[in-house]
Chains A and B, each alone.
Chain A
């Protein structure tokens, strides 16, 4: 499919063609959901929290490590500059990074249990909005239609999770993260599988 992309968008599409970003982000969402649960009931083991923080801190390096050695060892590696625009920073990164911290501070520092519960109750809506902007910024970088579909789907999923919040024992956010996580992992695996198939096809053609 020929698309009218500029060089930067073409390079971005090539850099992301192995689906590793989607797979890692999908896994990250499962851990993120676990992190909120850990903060709210504090009954789970802290191991998941540690793993979450490690993956969060080093996922970029891990992805680049895998790309150079495995996924792009046959096709060639291109690394894209991560430019964060102010709007992206305030609408996506800051809310995403500080949301669990905010709940934790409200609950354990100020003892505002009810307020923390209320914030958690509305989290599907909050994350639905954050994810809409997140997917939109991902779409703009390489004009990937699937990501645009994710952007449209995200608020729908958020509203559904919010409506069923009581049925789910106020764990609507977990449903939201699980659905988004599964979608991203499946999409990432499809991309990875297609890349591997194309690489094999090219190899056999060259032989």
Chain B
């Protein structure tokens, strides 16, 4: 009986540990959306993210900057119709971190229920 209690307690500790070890950069909803979209696509532009998330321009730019600083996404700037056009794609390290994040979340959710 005590062994079972001990095992259960260890399991709970592991889940708690895993929850706190989750990638906080990706876990934020707007950044999670951006990462998920970039993971499934080749390239998206700023306007697409703006229209899909309904967030403000400044807000999106902040999230993009954060992801870029972490090395998860690549930014490409070009001049289109006399305006600067920014498009984004996921890096290899971004793909790896996103896959790990999804796997960790799956394990956590399985253990919670």
Who on chain A is nearest to B45 by CB?
Answer: A77
> Is B41 in contact with A81, judged by CB distance below 8 angstroms?
yes
For B51-94 the 0/1 string (1 means CB < 8 A from A) is 11000000000000000000000000000110001010000000
Q: Does A170 contact B (CB under 8 A)?
A: no
Output the residue of B48, B50, B51 with the most chain A CB within 10 A. B48
Contact call B43/A78, Cβ cutoff below 8 A: yes
Complex interface: chain B residues within 8 A of A15 (CB) = 41
How many cross-chain pairs have Cβ atoms below 8 Å apart between A and B?
A: 55
Q: Name 28 A/B residue pairs within 8 A (Cβ), A-sorted.
A: A7-B36, A7-B37, A15-B41, A68-B80, A72-B47, A72-B48, A73-B47, A73-B80, A75-B47, A75-B48, A76-B47, A76-B50, A76-B52, A77-B44, A77-B45, A77-B47, A77-B87, A78-B37, A78-B44, A78-B45, A78-B48, A79-B41, A79-B43, A79-B44, A80-B41, A80-B42, A81-B40, A81-B42
Whether B49 sits at the interface, judged by CB under 8 Å, is yes
Q: Chain A: how many interface residues by the 8 Å CB criterion?
A: 17
Q: What chain A residues lie within 8 Å of B52 (beta carbons)? A: 76
Give, as a whole number of angstroms, the nearest-CB distance from A193 to chain B: 20
A49 within 8 Å of B by Cβ? Answer: no
**A3 at interface by CB-CB < 8 Å:** no
A11 at the interface (CB under 8 A from B): yes
8 Å CB contacts to B: which residues of A50-82?
Answer: 68-69, 72-81
Smallest CB gap from B83: residue in A: A73
* A11 B49 Cβ-Cβ under 8 A: no
- Give the nearest-CB partner of A68 in chain B: B80
Known interface pairs A68-B80, A77-B43, A78-B48; 15 further A-B residue pairs with C-beta atoms within 8 A, sorted by A's residue number: A8-B40, A11-B40, A14-B48, A73-B80, A73-B81, A75-B47, A75-B48, A75-B51, A76-B45, A76-B47, A77-B44, A77-B45, A78-B37, A78-B41, A79-B42
Q: Are B81 and A69 in contact (CB under 8 A)?
A: yes
Which single residue of chain B is at the shortest CB-CB distance from A82?
B42
Interface string of A1-16 (1 = CB under 8 A from B): 0000001100100110
Residues of chain A within 8 A (CB-CB) of B36 are: 7
Instruction: List chain B residues, Cβ under 8 A from A75.
Output: 47-48, 51
Question: Please, how many angstroms separate the alpha-carbon atoms of A183 and B32 in the complex?
Answer: 39
Inter-chain CA distance A89–B49, complex, in Å, is 32
**CB < 8 Å neighbour of A68 from B40, B50, B51, B85:** B85
- A80-123 CB mask vs B (1 if < 8 Å, else 0) is 11000000000000000000000000000000000000000000
Residues of the A chain whose Cβ atoms lie less than 8 Å from the Cβ of B85 = 68
Q: Restricting to B14-53, which residues have a CB under 8 Å from any CB of A?
A: 36-37, 40-52
A81 and B81 CA atoms in complex are apart in Å by 25
Question: B50 — which chain A residues lie within 8 A by C-beta?
Answer: 76
